[in-house]
Amino acid sequence: MDSYLKGNIGEQFVNEIAYKSFFKYWCYPSPKYENGSKKEICDLLVIFKNITIIFSVKNYEFKGNHTRYFKKTIEKAVRQLNGGYRTLFDNDLVEIKHPDKKVERFPKDNITKVFKIIENLGQGVNFYDIARTTEKDDFITIFDKDTFKVITEELDTVPDFIDYLEKRELLFKSKNVKALNPNPKQNLIEDDELYLNKNLNNSISIIGTEKDLLSYFFKNTRSFPDSFVASDADGMILDLSGAWTEYKLSPKSFKKDFADSVSYFLDGFVLNEVLKYDYIEKELVAKELLSLNRLQRRAVVSDFYDFCNKIKDYPENLVHRRFVEFGDLAIVFFNFNSGWEKEIIYRLFELIFETFAYYYKYKHKTFVLIGMTKNPHFAFKIYKNYERFTSEDEKIIEANIKELAWFTDYKQQGRTVNEFPD
């Protein structure tokens, strides 16, 4: 098959998985330097809040010589990633284009963390590097086709995916890390044996796949066991073969998958409600809701369902609220009458935000308010990086709280959500 065609097929494979896992809204396939050379910056760029992920996709056929194959794929991809990084961060202004949006400025000044990922789609190798630390101490993640598909299916929110990448980097940085096929398809040639035996000091050799590694990550409460950290300069061998299959067939895994199923309502809610209407803040609201990991989404949806069911029996003109918090993000559900004027609903948003921000002594940097009717019909508003109220405003807020009798018998409903239910 023509190499150009294979490359396009490879990029399409990665884009489709990324769209599904990270939400198409934040994915920029083959972005170009629009206000410069017009050349492609990388194969896929993911921008989410203060995080950027730069992808290089390689889809070359493996023909039996590992050393030659890695030079053709990994070395070339490293150069592409570094070139893409320089284009994005070494220029004063870089404009890029999302397929569904206008040309926009790459927000380099807002980016605090960058991940570089090589997606190598070639199959049939007996071993491969799963990480690379360059001479400039730059860490690069390397996934094969099966690994990328499984990891993005299992860690299918940006926060979960980032959490894995960060902990993986802490484990593997500055180490020589390889995954070894427990059932090699052919004997190694001399060049391959030399490659395997190079830089054994401070090395980790994993017999199995990264899926097997991922199973330990899940079973160890989203971290890697201490035993995976080499304690001497001679390196270590980890035989993990079969661990992923064992984990996925366990009752623990089945219960987790079933419990997670409810959380996908939030993904659909963002797409079908938050981003459905044309209002200025929709992208900000969507980003905050999608900044929640899968477990947090589980908790939010449970509260959402519970609140929706309860307001069905409430008098239509009586406002009720439900408060949920995750760090410095607060989410408040409330109900309103579908017959109310827009000005009343707008004032209700302001009133709920002001009272909760004041009651919690400004501990939350961001409030997402979701109003709903019995129908249901939804309305959204976000308050982000707001200023503390003046003393005069606080007196007015106190008076409003007293008049409305809010927080008089208030108990925040805490909800404990276990990733692996009993």
Residues 314 and 394 reside in one and the same domain: yes
Residues 239 and 304 reside in one and the same domain: no
User: What span, in angstroms and rounded, lies between the C-alpha atoms of 390 and 111?
Assistant: 32
Cα–Cα–Cα angle for 390, 396, 400, rounded to 5 degrees: 140
Token representation of residue 319: 């406002």
In a domain, 409, yes or no: no
pLDDT at 8 over 70: no
pLDDT band at 234 (very low <50, low <70, confident <90, very high): low
Residues 241 and 203 reside in one and the same domain: yes
User: What span, in angstroms and rounded, lies between the C-alpha atoms of 104 and 94?
Assistant: 8
pLDDT at 10 over 70: no
Residues 220 and 269 reside in one and the same domain: no
Residues 184 and 88 reside in one and the same domain: yes
Our CA dihedral for 75, 176, 47, 215, rounded to 10 degrees, sits at 130
In a domain, 35, yes or no: yes
| Residue positions counted in the chain | 422
pLDDT at 232 over 70: no
pLDDT at 7 over 60: no
The whole-number average pLDDT for the span 239-268 is 95
Per-residue model confidence (pLDDT) at position 233:
54
Residues 237 and 342 reside in one and the same domain: no
The whole-number average pLDDT for the span 248-258 is 95
Per-residue model confidence (pLDDT) at position 231:
57
Q: Which residue has the higher pLDDT, 68 or 309?
A: 309
The percentage of the chain sitting over the pLDDT mark of 70, rounded to a whole number, equals 95
Token representation of residue 36: 């410069």
Token representation of residue 387: 């200023």
In a domain, 71, yes or no: yes
Which residues on neighbouring strands pair with residue 330, listed in sequence order?
A: 325, 367
Note whether 332 and 368 are within 8 A (CB).
yes
pLDDT band at 313 (very low <50, low <70, confident <90, very high): confident
Note whether 140 and 134 are within 8 A (CB).
yes
In a domain, 206, yes or no: yes
pLDDT band at 48 (very low <50, low <70, confident <90, very high): confident
**Chain centroid offset of residue 252 CA:** 23
pLDDT band at 277 (very low <50, low <70, confident <90, very high): confident
Last residue of a domain, one of 189, 220, 249: 249
Per-residue model confidence (pLDDT) at position 1:
47
Closest CA to 23 of 222, 167, 160, 164: 160
State the pTM of this model: 0.90
Token representation of residue 45: 């760029």
Q: What is the separation, in whole angstroms, between the first and last Cα of the chain?
A: 50
Q: State the DSSP H helix or E strand holding residue 383, giving kind and residue range, or none if neither.
A: strand 378-384
The percentage of the chain sitting over the pLDDT mark of 90, rounded to a whole number, equals 63
User: What span, in angstroms and rounded, lies between the C-alpha atoms of 249 and 11?
Assistant: 31
Per-residue model confidence (pLDDT) at position 211:
94
The whole-number average pLDDT for the span 346-374 is 96
Q: How many domains does the chain have?
A: 2
Sign of the torsion formed by the C-alpha atoms of 62, 63, 64 and 70:
negative
In a domain, 422, yes or no: no
Give the Å distances, CA to CA, from 57 to 46, 95, 136. Answer: 14, 22, 22
In a domain, 218, yes or no: yes
197-227 burial, b at 16+ Cβ within 10 Å, e below that, comes to eeeeeebbbbbbbbbbbbbbbbbeeeebeee
Last residue of a domain, one of 195, 220, 249: 249
Token representation of residue 378: 């939804």
pLDDT at 287 over 50: yes
Residues 22 and 103 reside in one and the same domain: yes
Q: Which residue has the higher pLDDT, 260 or 21?
A: 260
In a domain, 411, yes or no: no
Contacts (Cβ under 8 Å, ≥6 apart) of 205: 177, 178, 180, 235, 236, 237, 238
User: What span, in angstroms and rounded, lies between the C-alpha atoms of 314 and 318?
Assistant: 7
Cα–Cα–Cα angle for 107, 112, 114, rounded to 5 degrees: 85
Residues 268 and 314 reside in one and the same domain: yes
Residues 277 and 187 reside in one and the same domain: no
Could you tell me the residue range of the domain that residue 396 belongs to? 261-404
Q: Among 47-61, 302-316, 344-358, 403-417, name the one with the lowest average pLDDT.
A: 403-417
Grouping H, G, I as helix, E, B as strand and the rest as coil, residue 151 is: helix
User: What span, in angstroms and rounded, lies between the C-alpha atoms of 253 and 349?
Assistant: 41
Closest CA to 83 of 126, 26, 41: 41
Tell me the chain's radius of gyration from C-alpha atoms. Answer: 25
pLDDT tens per residue, range 63-89? 878 888 888 888 899 999 999 999 999
246-261 burial, b at 16+ Cβ within 10 Å, e below that, comes to ebbeeebbeebeebbe
Q: Which residue has the higher pLDDT, 124 or 152?
A: 152
pLDDT band at 2 (very low <50, low <70, confident <90, very high): very low
Q: Which residue, chain included where needed, has tokens 């939350």?
A: 364
Q: Among 124-128, 198-202, 248-252, name the one with the lowest average pLDDT.
A: 198-202
Residues 101 and 52 reside in one and the same domain: yes
Per-residue model confidence (pLDDT) at position 5:
46
Interaxial angle between packed helices 158-172 and 3-22, expressed in degrees from 0 to 180 and rounded to the nearest 10 = 110
Note whether 366 and 330 are within 8 A (CB).
yes
Per-residue model confidence (pLDDT) at position 286:
92
Closest CA to 143 of 224, 75, 29, 57: 57
User: What span, in angstroms and rounded, lies between the C-alpha atoms of 134 and 101?
Assistant: 35
pLDDT at 370 over 60: yes
pLDDT tens per residue, range 21-45? 677 878 999 999 999 999 999 999 9
In a domain, 123, yes or no: yes
Token representation of residue 271: 């797409």
Residues 78 and 184 reside in one and the same domain: yes
Give the Å distances, CA to CA, from 422 to 222, 250, 251, 252, 259. Answer: 18, 13, 10, 8, 11
Residues 278 and 243 reside in one and the same domain: no
